[in-house]
Structure formats: structure tokens, C-alpha cells
Amino acid sequence: MRSDPQSPRAGFAAEWHEVTVQYPFAKRQAVGPVSLGIRQGERVLLLGPSGSGKSTLLLTLTGLVPHSIPATVNGDVRLFGANVGTRQPWAWAAQVAQYFQDADQTLCGMRVEDEIAFALENRALPPARIAERVKEAMERVGVPESWCSRPTSTLSGGERQLVALAATLVQDAFLFIADEPTAHLAPQAADRLHALLTEHDPSRGVLIVDHRLDGLIQQIDRMVVLGENGTIIAEGPPRTIFRAKRDLLASEGIWHPVASDLDARLVAAGLAPRVAPLSVEEALAHLDPRTAPRGHVEKALPAVEAFVAEYAMQGVQTAPDAPVLARLVNADCAPFLGPTILRSIDLAVHEGEILGVLGANGAGKSTLGLCLAGLLPLKAGKRIGAPGGYAFQRPENQFTAGTVRDEILDALPKSMAAKAKAERVAAALLAWGLSGLESRHPFELSQGQKRRLALASLTVSDHWPLLVLDEPTAGLDMHGVSMLISEILALQERGQTVAVITHDMDFALRLCTRSIIVGEGGILADGPTQDLMRDTALLRRAGLAEPSCAKALQWLQRAVSC
């Protein structure tokens, strides 16, 4: 039962009419013109490349832009029929629940229980009712009861995201706005959250920005796609958009379900299903080797094989006798000011290796990465080997300069010649897609641009023999991930060693020659990434999921054996 005493008028929950947004000193508009409506009960997915204005558009809905974040906004923005400009942002709190792209912008409570209860306390609900609602939200999201008294400062990035989502869902608002709600979640947790966010409720509108489409897209009623210039370039049902506009989306660097790639190959082979698929299972259902005509199956084999080949390992396997660059010996690891969460860790990283670090939220991946880089002292045991550089899960944690150019420049040795520095900075800006943003303040960038800047500043120097990248794909569009893969492969070619902490199973499969799975207070598995990805029982135990090509690979195995 929603606590707001007045239901919004029937029709649209949110509307934009010819809306444009331009930030101070910006050379171009961040958004628009955009005209769009979200109906009550409708579940809408907003897609677009990094920097296309998705987050800005969401922030105009409650007036945070321009009331709290200065900008020039033209056009008409309406919530439940009322002009947003007639109220302060806080006045919409009972009707709109907003989850921000950065969970740290949402958290304000000292303890997990306080954080989730905060909105309900502001509505003056009876304490017993608050406790009941908080418990229900925690159970639905998957926040353990044991976290109630836990300080929010001790949570991992993924755990913070879970708590922030529980604090948003508990509000039971008429409109739910979520900006990258699963960016730092492990696959199983992300699937659970997608299901919760998109539960059909005829009185609640849902507007989501997310790059992780598989597991989400089946629950979406309509998609809206922003182009690089901040205007709408496509709009309609997911099945229509992903078949009719796939090439347009790919050219803009916009993610699409992996089934869309397979569908394109089947279309070219004349074997596509009648309705555009949203999953690999849907794409291949009409080609079941046990029931489909053998000629159709044989004709489909090259298309499916080509699809699976896209997930082939691109990293170069290191020699078995490659020297050890860094090692943890019988190490106990704990986050800063936190309890020991990993015990008796023995881990060696070899020169030229690309190591994947996989595991569920809160398993200790970031803590292990910080210890491996030598940035966090061990509780017991020892670390041996070369120093490591670290790209933090939250890019803002490493920014120190006032411009993008200076952020990269400051990472270079002071002794380097000015001309060499300028050339190195220019090359980094180009490689990471930051050209044209040189004079922007790092905190003014989109989340994807911030991520690329953090990676550019870490990799521009040859100072670090070992690089640890914490969730480097979070917030990146398709072009950004392609850049990331190219740069990591180039680092490996130059002899550098890279450890990648990630929840992106496809990314790990394509790039990491070896992976470890962290969980249950230690390392559950260590071996070739391809071997670990085939162990479905291990993946389930660790809270992970199979890579996207797994179902297609299983189809190939059945097709060959039939």
C-alpha cells in the first residue's frame, strides 16, 4: 500500500516536450531536443552511448537539473501532469524513487538498516511499519539480515549498490527511475534485481538506464535510444528495434543483446526466426537438432560457429615457466578498518599474464586486488614482488587534477621531456576516446568517460609492472569496451601484467588467459578461463553465470552429435 495520499492522474507518469539541456561553459547541448512520455505501468529502457545525456535526462525529471545541478533547461518537463519547475526536487519524494548512477550519491545512513529506513522515517510512518517494510525490502533485494547494523562505509561496491536499491524500492513510489542499477552486481544478483525492478504494476512507471541487457530486455515494454548528440534516434518495442535498427545501434556504440548478433547471422543465412529473439535460446529454438530439418541445422552451423568464435580468447597465453611478478603467500586480507574476509591466500601472478578475478558481490575481490597491488597491508602472510598500479572501482577516487589533460599529464614522470609528455598525453586521449574533452573537469564527465579517463591516467605511464583494474567495464558502452580490450592487449604486448576484477563473464572469456574465482573466504578455483566457464556447478556456487555463448556452444555440441 503506497503511502502517498493522492494517486497521480491517469495517463503519463513523466513527459518531456522539446526539452534541451546545456551545462555552463559547455560547447554543445547535453540533451535534446527530446520529446518523450512514460505512461503509468510502462517499463521503459533508455539506451545510448557514453556522454549522450541519459543521466542528465533522468535528472531533469525531479528538477535536480537545474535546481541542484546548474544548467539551462528549455522546454517542458512534467511529472504526473504537473510542471516540474513548480516544485523543489524534494517535493517529489513521495511519488518518485530515484536510484543514482553512483550508489555513493544515494547512501547517507551510517548503518545499512538506517539507510533503507531513511525515506520511510521522513514520511513519519509508524516504527513498526517501517521495520516491516525494511525487512521486506531486504529480503526481496537479497540484503542479509546480518547486515542491519553494518556500517555502510564497510560495504563493497556491489554491496552498496544492493543497499541503495533496497533503499529505493522500499519507497514503493509511483515512478521508479534507475540509472545503471546493476553496473557493479554479480550476474545472479543482477538478474534478481532486474526481475524486481520490472515487476509489472499498472500504477507504477519504470525508467531504467542499463548496459546489461540480457536478463532485462524480456521485461521491457519500450526502448528509447539516444544518439551521441543527445537526441532520440530510435524508439519502439525491443524486438523491433534490435532487428530493424541493430546496425544503427552498433555504429553508435550502443549495447544490444547477444541474441541480436546471432539473429543477424541467422538472417544472413536465411534461417532467422519469424519474431526477433531476445535470448540465444529464442534464436535457436526453431533449429533444435532433434526436431528441425537436418538441412536447416547444417545450414545454420557456420552462422552459430561464427557467433561462438566472437568469444574466443584474444589474450596471449603466457609460457608455463614465465617468471612470477607478484605473489601473495599464506595471506590474510581485510578491507581498510574492516574484518579479515580472505584467509590463507596463495596467489602468483606471472609476467605478461592477463588474470581474471571473478566472484560474487562481497566475496573480497577488490580487497584481494588492493593487497595484490601492495596498496593494502596484509593481516598475515606476505606479499613478494613488483609494485602495482590500481584503477579503482569508483573512478572519482583517483582524480586529483582540474582538467582531463592534467589528470593524464600528472601520471607521467616529472623527468620526462615536455614534448614527449605532450605526445604521450595526445596519444592517450585518442586511444581512450577523450579527444575534445581535454579542458573539461574530470567530475563533469559522464560515468563512462570518467572510467576511460581513470584507465588512461593509469596506463599512460610505464611505471607499473602490474596493473589491477577494478570493474573496468562498468558504465562503458560497446565502443568503450572495445577500446579497453585493445589497450589491455597492447599492454600485454609491451610486457605488462594485468589483473582484471570483473563481473562481465564475456569480457573475462575474451581477454583473460587465466582466472581465479573468489568466494567462501578464499580462492574457490584457479585455472584457464575457458575451463572455469564450462563448470556450471562452480559458477552457480560462486554466484556467477555462464558466458553468453554457452547456450550456442551447447547447441553446436547437440548438432554435431545428432
Whether residues 278 and 334 fall in one domain: no
pLDDT on residue 10: 52
337 plus 441 within the same structural domain: yes
Statement to judge: residues 278 and 362 lie in one domain = no
- 243: region left, alpha or beta (phi > 0 left; psi from -120 to 50 alpha): alpha
- Separation of alpha carbons 433 and 467, rounded Å: 20
Say how many CA atoms lie within 13 Å of 10 toward its Cβ: 0
Out of 251, 268, 283, pick the residue that ends a domain.
Answer: 251
3-class state of residue 515 by DSSP: strand
- Pair 461, 413: CB distance under 8 Å: yes
For residues 124 and 238, membership in a common domain is answered with: yes
CATH number for position 441: 3.40.50.300
Q: Which residues pair with residue 515 across a beta bridge? A: 356, 527
Overall pTM surpassing 0.95 (yes/no): no
Q: Does 171 map to a domain?
A: yes
Is the N-terminal amide bond of 66 cis, ω within 30° of 0?
Answer: yes
What does the CA dihedral 54, 211, 215, 281 come to, rounded to 10 degrees? 120
Domain shared by 76 and 206, yes or no? yes
Domain co-membership, 543 together with 556: no
Q: What's the structural domain count of the chain?
A: 3
Which of these, 363, 389, 396, lies nearest to 375 by C-alpha position? 389
pLDDT at residue 305 in the model: 94
Rounded CA-CA distance 259/281 in Å is 8
Position 5 in a domain: no
The residue out of 202, 222, 251 marking a domain boundary is: 251
Domain that holds residue 55: 12-251
Residue 4 included in any domain: no
Same domain, residue pair 57 and 103: yes
pLDDT in 10s for each residue of the chain, 562 residues:
454 434 444 589 999 999 999 999 888 999 989 999 999 999 999 999 988 999 999 999 999 999 999 999 999 999 999 999 889 999 998 899 999 888 887 888 789 999 999 999 999 999 999 999 999 999 999 999 999 999 998 888 889 999 999 999 999 999 999 999 988 888 888 888 888 888 888 889 999 999 889 889 999 999 999 999 999 999 999 999 999 999 999 999 999 899 999 999 999 999 989 999 999 999 999 999 989 999 999 999 999 999 999 888 888 888 778 999 999 999 999 998 889 999 999 999 999 999 999 999 999 999 999 999 999 999 999 999 988 999 999 899 899 999 999 999 999 999 999 999 999 999 999 999 999 999 999 998 988 899 999 999 999 988 899 999 999 998 889 999 999 999 999 999 988 999 999 999 999 999 999 999 999 999 999 999 999 999 999 999 999 999 989 999 999 999 888 7
Examine the domain organization and report whether 247 and 265 are in the same domain: no
- Considering the domain architecture, whether residues 407 and 555 belong to the same structural domain is answered as no
Q: Which of 219, 180, 173, 175 is nearest to 196 (CA)?
A: 219
Task: Examine the domain organization and report whether 221 and 298 are in the same domain.
Answer: no
Residues 6+ away with beta carbon under 8 Å from 193: 141, 162, 165, 181, 182, 185
Would you say residue 318 lies in a domain? no
- Round to whole Å and give the CA distance between 102 and 183: 9
In a domain, 332, yes or no: yes
Query: What is the reported pLDDT for 3?
Result: 43
Q: Is there a single domain that holds both residue 353 and residue 410?
A: yes
What is the DSSP annotation of 359-413? E-TTSSHHHHHHHHHT-S--SEEEEEE--EEEE-SSGGGG--SSSHHHHHHTTS-
**Together in a domain, 77 and 220:** yes
* 399 inside domain: yes
In a domain, 316, yes or no: no
Q: Which of 228, 251, 274 is the last residue of a domain?
A: 251
Does a structural domain hold residue 319?
no
